[in-house]
């Protein structure tokens, strides 16, 4: 007798119940994926932050600008090996749905400060020599269908001196990085081109932040204090912190994310386990006479117990795998929107493997009680009740 035939018959016995139970498993594992992606968005930022990088902002409000003239003083601080400054705007390509962040920086220092980013030497050299040049992240270039050498009109930017809001760039290269997907969608341009072209005088000769590379992370606090001391009597004053410290501070604003994810996950999976367990128990109870007939035909108790376990594992495994796939796709779709806040948001292989292990564990747990019931089944009593 074919085991799969028996299992399929059991699932088809109450199709609506099987369908809703299956969907509950799918939804539970989709939620697991989203929670895992949120946790990675929080904890992952700490993993990729390095103590050798410092960020300098406006002390009063991090959203306010800093003078470009601060650059020469910051780069002269002992222990600072490279300084990049940033400003930018959000633009779009052809359609407003194709939005992305345009980053304007001093290109010669960028890859010195962010050594996780690189570009082929020929492309990097071409970018440095091209005032209107730009390099794009691999995911952004793929999404927009760009290739090196394209002329890129970016719409919706700040007004230029000629009144136009369309900025034209030459795609000189596509940078590479092993950082999460949010870091693979930047459009990086020359600050000088932006600064000389923007019409608003208040947006000229100012930057949103400075990022410094230092020679020894053990001196991060001392160098941060030295930078801020230079501007303690200036307007505006600065606040400098290591990126690692920033990430930890950001996480603390949301409390213990790991604990929150675990508690919510426990609640979701416990509810799912009750549903699956109840479904399996009802299914076995309804088929008591069938199991008694199988026992009477010579099938042994262990074989019947394994049959019930296979039903539980198949229901949990199929729903769990589908839920993980859909959850991954959902996290992938959410990443562009959430990435501005949680740059490392996304599913990891560790989370996927944990999800598969949970499928097996919960499949076993849901089948324990029904297996015990089948194993203790008395043929004569079951047939008499039938």
**What is the pLDDT, as a whole number, of residue 144?**
94
How far apart are alpha carbons 373 and 281 in whole angstroms?
Answer: 9
- Is residue 271 within 8 Å of residue 32, measured between CB atoms? no
- DSSP string for 65-117: -EETTHHHHHHTSTTEEEEEEEEEEEEESSSTTSEEEEEEE-HHHHHHH-TTE
Please give the backbone phi and psi of residue 165, each rounded to the nearest 5 degrees, phi first: -110, 15
Distance CA 98, CA 131 (A): 24
Chain-centroid distance of CA 130 in Å reads 34
Cα-to-chain-centroid distance, residue 175:
20
Q: Return the pLDDT at 84.
A: 97
Pairing between β-strand 80-92 and β-strand 99-105 as defined by DSSP bridges = antiparallel
Determine the Cα–Cα distance for residues 3 and 21; give it in Å rounded to an integer: 21
pTM, whole model, 2 decimals?
0.67
- Are 204 and 193 a contacting pair, CB within 8 Å? no
Provide the pLDDT for residue 130: 96
Q: What is the pLDDT of residue 306?
A: 78
* DSSP assigned state of 181: G
pLDDT at 250: 59
What is the sign, positive or negative, of the torsion defined by CA atoms of 260, 261, 262, 267? positive
What's the confidence (pLDDT) of residue 70?
Answer: 97
CB 167 within 8 A of CB 91: yes
d(CA 11, CA 18): 6
Q: How far apart are CA 359 and CA 355, in angstroms?
A: 6
Contact at 8 Å (CB) between 381 and 330? no
User: Distance between CA atoms of 100 and 107, rounded to whole angstroms?
Assistant: 19
Would strands 167-174 and 133-136 be described as parallel, antiparallel, or unpaired? parallel
Do 21 and 366 touch, CB atoms closer than 8 A? no
What does the pLDDT read at residue 251? 58
User: For residues 74 and 71, what is the distance between their CA atoms, to the nearest angstrom?
Assistant: 5
Report the C-alpha gap between 57 and 208 in whole angstroms.
Answer: 7
Give pLDDT < 70 ranges for the chain: 1-2, 6-7, 9-10, 42-49, 245-258, 288-298, 336, 339-343, 377-386
């Amino acid at each position: 007798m074919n085991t799969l035939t028996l299992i399929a018959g059991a699932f088809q016995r109450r199709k609506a119940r099987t369908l809703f139970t299956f969907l509950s498993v799918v939804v539970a594992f989709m939620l697991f994926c989203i929670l895992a992606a949120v946790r990675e968005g929080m904890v992952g930022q700490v993993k990729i932050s390095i103590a050798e990088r410092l960020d300098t902002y406006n002390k009063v409000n991090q959203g306010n600008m800093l003078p470009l003239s601060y650059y020469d003083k910051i780069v002269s601080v002992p222990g600072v090996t490279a300084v990049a400054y940033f400003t930018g705007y959000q633009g779009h390509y052809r359609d407003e749905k194709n939005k992305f962040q345009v980053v304007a920086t001093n290109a010669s220092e960028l890859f010195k400060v962010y050594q996780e980013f690189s570009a082929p030497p020929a492309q990097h050299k071409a970018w440095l020599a091209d005032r209107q040049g730009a390099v794009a992240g691999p995911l952004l270039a793929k999404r927009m269908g760009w290739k090196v050498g394209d002329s890129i009109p970016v719409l919706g930017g700040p007004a230029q001196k000629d009144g136009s809001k369309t900025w034209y760039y030459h795609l000189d290269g596509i940078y590479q990085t092993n950082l999460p997907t949010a870091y693979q969608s930047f459009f990086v341009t020359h600050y000088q081109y932006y600064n000389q072209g923007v019409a608003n005088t208040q947006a000229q000769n100012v930057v949103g932040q400075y990022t410094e590379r230092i020679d020894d992370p053990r001196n991060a606090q001392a160098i941060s204090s030295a930078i801020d001391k230079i501007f303690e009597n200036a307007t505006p004053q600065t606040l400098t912190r290591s990126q690692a410290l920033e990430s930890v501070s950001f996480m603390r604003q949301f409390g213990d994310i790991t604990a929150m994810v675990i508690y919510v996950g426990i609640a979701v999976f416990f509810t799912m386990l009750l549903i699956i367990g109840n479904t399996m128990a009802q299914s076995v109870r309804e088929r008591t006479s069938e199991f008694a007939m199988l026992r009477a035909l010579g099938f042994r108790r262990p074989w019947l117990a394994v049959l019930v376990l296979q039903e539980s594992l198949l229901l949990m495994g199929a729903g769990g795998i589908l839920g993980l796939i859909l959850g991954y796709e959902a996290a992938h779709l959410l990443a562009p929107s959430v990435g501005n806040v949680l740059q490392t948001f996304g599913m990891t292989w560790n989370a996927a493997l944990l999800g598969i292990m949970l499928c097996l564990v919960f499949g076993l747990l849901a089948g324990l009680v029904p297996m015990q019931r089948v194993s203790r089944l008395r043929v004569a009593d079951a047939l008499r009740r039938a």
